[in-house]
Amino acid sequence: MSIAEKAFLGSMMKAEYLLKDTVIQPELLECTRNKEVMRRMVELTRTGKNIDLITLSTLPDLES
């Protein structure tokens, strides 16, 4: 798993407003799991829900 991708996703989680401003799309990430995590983060943001570690770790159908 790419450390850069982990740092990127962590930044998005810590400051959710960055997710709305980024031009990086989930498809541009290398790791399949990171792509899915980012897709879920975008989905949660669109529905007005907060993004946090507990929410992401309890999502159904997210690969281990």
pLDDT digits (tens, 9 = 90+) for 9-56: 999 999 888 888 899 999 999 999 899 999 999 999 999 888 888 888
H helix runs in 15-62, sequence order: 17-21, 32-46, 53-57
pLDDT score for 9: 93
Q: Say which residue, 14 or 63, is predicted with more confidence.
A: 14
The total domain count for the chain is: 1
- Structural domain including 21 reads 3-57
Is 38 within 8 Å of 9 (Cβ atoms)? yes
Whether 11 maps to a domain, the answer reads yes
